[in-house]
Structure formats: structure tokens, C-alpha cells
């Protein structure tokens, strides 16, 4: 078993380069199934979720050629199977994009349903509602979801919840459908725009991505023969911003889109940090103990749930008492139990948590309960007195490229150790 060993307290200093966005990459890779041709994807993050997805595509008949660890060519001309490897897809949450992509390409899809999630229940009723509106029959049986249609026909779909996954899945299923699909109350996250840009580059006709009404005019074929570069990961950038603030550091973050970080920048300034944003890079620094603040997670452009736990670390050492309300996921405060082992004073109940700021954290053995919780614990280890050991690294490796190298380059004393 591997663990990260971190010796704190280190103010972070230096420059970090942000990788391509995980949540865009895990949508773009299955989207290549819709292309009757070859495409090249650049700026892919080198993370385990991306490799896993490429292996799934290989099993479906795609030819995958890695040019380097961030660039892959995918030839989807000979997709010969509509059933995804069920055991793998059951363990892998973003596998639900295979339903929309295979349905769009083959008019049939069988995918293992992702099981219970450690963020709380993760229903896909809005995805199913969209597929059915396009003319598909959808069934969930024996841990699998199967969808099929004689033909897919565009329709108007009002989403009860502005779900990121459902918005993308309906786009995937409707790109090759007959006629026009309109998604109302669509999610507006940056990766929705990225997937639409990717598909449009490959020959699709999608308009309005990034607003709450998206219009998809079905096309006969996506021909590909183009290259696309994945958008930078705003959650990774936000993670480093909050690490800089928590550690009273001063860092430059390169290859990010500062517009995507506006809700985080506003909060960093509110708690006493400083940000100098310049379009594709920013400097963030903080010279004193952070001030208290209240946070409510919201869909984009609100404060992102995927930075809630990293912000929780900052507030755990803030001057005063802060409250976080988590409105997206039911069980996203599991990391607070781990932070309390390090001396934090956090009481969480349901979707709210109260953070009574303490002057400092103390190193302890802790467990990453999910991907973002893992990132939060790394920040906690960097600012804590003494040594912190972090276990369950598989969560972190799913979504952060070279995280310990990047923190090491900023001065953190962090090593990966085989136990
Ligand atoms: N929801 C439903 N029904 C649905 C779909 C969603 O009730 O059919 C609910 C969910 O239970 C949740 C809310 O709607 O309460 C939002 O869910 P959404 O569908 O937007 O989330 P997702 O697509 O499953 C993506 C990211 C998550 C991120 C959320 C919110 C990917 C692969 N995952 O999940 O990322 O937290 O959007 O922004 O894009 C992470 O990266 O750590 C992560 C968990």
C-alpha cells in the first residue's frame, strides 16, 4: 500500500502548471465513439481515470495510439460493440457517458451502473429522462443499464436539476439524432462548453453551451480528422490557490482560465488573500491567518462543490467560526472527521458544517475518503505541524496528475512511500 508522507509547515512558493481538466477529459474520450473517423486529443491529464477510459474504448473496437502521456489519437471507425465491459464500468462513475455515446453511435448501449458513491446517492433519472425523450427505451436490471432506440429523434427536454452529467449525456445522445434537441435548464460548467467545442470541431452543430439553453441540431455524421486540446482544470487550479492561501504562500499558477475561477478568487480575497489574475495565469498569495467566511456550494458560476473540502482546510485554521453549506452532494463532509484527527474543530451534520478556526493543525495519519478530500488532506499536511501520512491514494491518483511532484516543486516536503 502506498501513502504520502508530508512534513509541514511549509509556505508554498514558486510556479505550478495546471493540467487538462479531468471532468472534461472523461467526457471527451467517450464522445470520440460518435466519430466515424480519427481524432487527436491534446492536453489530456495523465491520470488513472483517463487511462481506464481509453482501455474501455479499446475493448469497444477503437484504436488508441498514445503520442505522449498527454496526447492520444483515437480511431473510432470500427466500433464493433455496444456493450461496455460491465465490471469496469460498474466501478467507474464517469462511465455513464458511455450510455449516451453508444446510444448515439450504435442506437444501443449496455453499461454497468456505477454503484453507491461515497459522495452520497448519485441518481441518473435526468439522464434517463433525456434518453427517453429522444425515443430510447431504457432499463436498469441486474446492476446494468441498457438503452436502445430504433432511431433517435430530437426533442425539447427540461431538466429538473441542472445536472452536469445529464446535460453532457443528452448532448452525446442527440448529436447524431434526427432533428433538433433543446436542453432547457442545462448545466453551465466549463466542461459543458468544452465537450460542445470538441464535438463541434469534429462536425457537430451544438449552440448555446455555457448558457442554460443548449440547442443541438442533429448531423448525419461526425467525421473527425481534427485535433482538440482539453481545457485547463479549474478545480486543480483552485486546489493550488487554496493551498497557497492556507500555507501563507505566494505562487504563480500557469495554464488556467482565470474567468473559470471567479467564485474562488472572490472568496480568497474575502478571507484576506490576494490574487492577481491575468487571463491564463494568476498569482495568489496570503501573508496572514485567513479570516472566517461562509460558503455555499452551487452549480457554476457558484462556488464549486469540488473545492469545498480544500476550502474547508483553509477555514479550519481561519480566525473565527465559518459555516459551509454543501448543496450538491449529501456526503461531502467525510474529510472533516480526518481533519479533526489533525486538531481541527469541525462539527458537520447533514449538508452543513461549522468550522471553529484553530491556530494550527497537527500532523496525523489520515485517509482520503474521495478525490477532493484527498487533495484537501494534502493541503492540511503541508500546513500542519509535524508529519502527516495520507492513505487511500487511489482516490487522488484518479484525478490529479503528479500531485506530489507539483507540490514538491512549490517547496512542500512530500514523498510517496510504499508501505
Ligand atoms: N442528480 C439527480 N439526478 C440526475 C443527475 C444528478 O438528482 O439524473 C443530482 C445529483 O445527485 C447531485 C446534483 O444533481 O445532487 C448534481 O449532479 P451532477 O449530475 O451535476 O453531477 P455529476 O455529473 O454526477 C459532475 C462531476 C463531479 C462534480 C459535479 C458537480 C464529473 C465526472 N463529475 O458530477 O465531480 O462534483 O458534476 O459539479 O464531471 C469530482 O471531480 O470530484 C466530482 C465529484
* DSSP-assigned letters across all residues of 121-166: ----HHHHHHHHHTT-EEEEETTEEEEE-S--B--EEE-SS--HHH
Cα separation values, 114 from 2, 82, 255, Å: 25, 17, 32
Most ligand 1 atoms within 8 A of CB, residue of 53, 120, 157, 163 to mutate = 163
Burial (CB < 10 A; 0-12, 13-18, 19+), residue 96, is buried
Nearest CA to ligand 1 atom 2: 123
Asked whether the beta carbons of 64 and 32 are under 8 A apart, the reply is no
Residue 115, pLDDT score: 57
91: left (phi over 0), alpha (psi -120 to 50) or beta: alpha
pTM over 0.95? The answer is: yes
- What is the residue with the minimal CA distance to atom 10 of ligand 1? 122
CA of 25 to the centre of ligand 1 (A): 15
Q: What atom of ligand 1 comes closest to residue 119's alpha carbon?
A: 44
Tell how far the Cα of 166 is from the centroid of ligand 1, in angstroms. Answer: 9
Of 322, 312, 305, 327, residue with least CA distance to 377 = 312
CA distance linking residue 247 with residue 10, whole number of Å: 6
What the chain holds in terms of domains, given with CATH numbers, is 2-19+232-418 (3.65.10.10), 22-229 (3.65.10.10)
- How far, in Å, is the centroid of ligand 1 from the Cα of 345? 28
**Nearest to 306, CA basis, from 353, 368, 372, 253:** 372
For the chain, residues with pLDDT lower than 70 are: 115-120
C-beta of residue 32 within 8 angstroms of C-beta of residue 412: no
3-state secondary structure (DSSP) of residue 79: coil
Q: Which helix (H) or strand (E) holds 161?
A: none
Write down the pLDDT at residue 120. 67
Ligand 1 atom having least distance to the Cα of 93:
32
Tens digit of each residue's pLDDT (9 = 90 or more) over 381-410 = 999 999 999 999 999 998 999 999 999 999
CA of 327 to the centre of ligand 1 (A): 11
Round to whole Å and give the CA distance between 392 and 366. Answer: 9
CA distance 314 to 168: 32
Residues near ligand 1 (Cβ within 6 A): 23, 26, 94, 119, 122-127, 161, 163-166, 187, 189, 305-306, 328-329, 371-372, 399
Q: Looking at the annotation, which residues are catalytic?
A: 117
Ramachandran angles phi, psi of 416, nearest 5°: -95, 130
pLDDT, residue 116, reads 46
Q: Residue whose CA is closest, atom 12 of ligand 1?
A: 328
Rounded to whole angstroms, the Cα distance separating 208 from 184 reads 11
Nearest ligand 1 atom to alpha carbon 125: 8
Pocket test for ligand 1, best of 20, 21, 22, 23 (most atoms within 8 A of CB): 23
Cα separation, 375 vs 307, in Å, equals: 9
Amino acid at each position: 500500500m502506498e501513502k504520502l508522507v508530508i512534513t509541514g509547515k511549509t509556505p508554498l512558493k514558486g510556479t505550478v502548471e495546471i493540467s487538462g481538466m479531468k471532468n472534461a477529459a472523461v467526457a471527451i474520450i467517450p464522445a470520440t465513439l460518435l466519430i466515424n473517423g480519427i481524432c487527436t486529443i491534446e492536453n489530456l491529464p495523465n491520470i488513472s481515470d483517463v487511462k481506464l477510459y481509453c482501455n474501455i474504448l479499446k475493448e469497444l473496437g477503437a484504436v488508441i495510439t498514445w503520442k505522449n502521456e498527454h496526447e492520444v489519437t483515437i480511431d473510432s471507425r470500427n466500433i464493433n460493440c455496444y456493450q461496455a465491459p460491465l465490471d469496469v464500468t460498474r466501478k467507474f462513475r464517469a462511465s455513464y457517458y458511455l450510455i449516451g455515446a453508444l446510444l448515439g453511435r450504435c442506437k444501443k448501449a449496455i453499461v454497468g451502473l456505477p454503484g453507491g458513491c461515497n459522495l452520497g446517492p448519485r441518481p441518473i433519472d435526468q439522464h434517463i429522462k433525456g434518453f427517453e425523450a429522444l425515443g430510447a427505451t431504457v432499463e436498469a436490471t441486474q446492476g446494468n443499464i441498457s438503452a436502445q432506440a430504433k432511431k433517435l429523434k430530437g426533442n425539447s427536454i427540461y431538466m429538473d436539476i441542472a445536472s452536469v452529467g445529464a446535460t453532457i449525456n443528452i448532448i452525446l445522445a442527440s448529436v447524431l439524432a434526427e432533428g433538433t434537441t433543446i436542453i432547457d435548464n442545462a448545466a453551465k460548467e466549463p466542461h459543458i462548453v468544452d465537450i460542445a467545442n470538441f464535438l463541434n470541431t469534429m462536425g457537430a452543430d451544438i449552440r448555446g453551451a455555457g448558457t442554460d439553453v443548449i440547442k443541438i441540431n442533429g448531423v448525419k455524421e461526425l467525421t473527425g480528422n481534427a485535433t482538440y486540446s482539453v481545457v485547463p482544470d479549474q478545480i486543480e487550479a483552485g486546489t493550488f490557490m487554496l493551498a497557497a492561501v492556507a500555507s501563507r504562500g505566494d505562487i504563480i499558477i500557469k495554464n488556467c482560465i482565470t474567468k473559470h475561477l471567479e467564485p474562488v478568487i472572490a472568496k480568497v480575497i474575502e478571507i484576506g488573500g490576494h490574487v492577481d489574475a491575468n487571463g491564463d495565469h494568476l498569482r495568489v498569495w496570503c501573508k496572514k491567518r485567513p479570516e472566517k467566511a461562509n460558503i455555499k456550494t452551487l452549480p457554476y458560476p457558484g462556488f464549486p462543490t469540488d473545492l469545498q473540502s480544500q476550502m474547508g482546510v483553509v477555514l479550519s485554521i481561519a480566525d473565527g467560526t465559518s459555516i459551509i453549506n454543501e448543496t450538491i452532494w449529501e456526503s461531502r463532509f467525510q474529510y472533516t472527521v480526518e481533519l479533526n484527527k489533525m486538531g481541527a474543530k469541525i462539527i458537520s451534520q447533514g449538508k452543513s458544517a461549522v468550522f471553529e478556526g484553530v491556530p494550527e493543525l497537527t500532523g496525523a495519519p489520515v485517509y482520503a475518503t474521495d478525490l477532493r478530500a484527498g487533495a484537501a488532506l494534502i493541503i492540511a499536511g503541508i500546513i500542519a505541524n509535524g508529519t502527516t501520512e495520507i492513505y487511500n491514494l487511489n482516490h487522488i491518483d484518479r484525478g490529479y496528475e503528479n500531485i506530489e511532484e507539483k507540490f514538491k516543486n512549490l517547496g512542500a516536503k512530500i514523498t510517496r512511500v510504499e508501505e
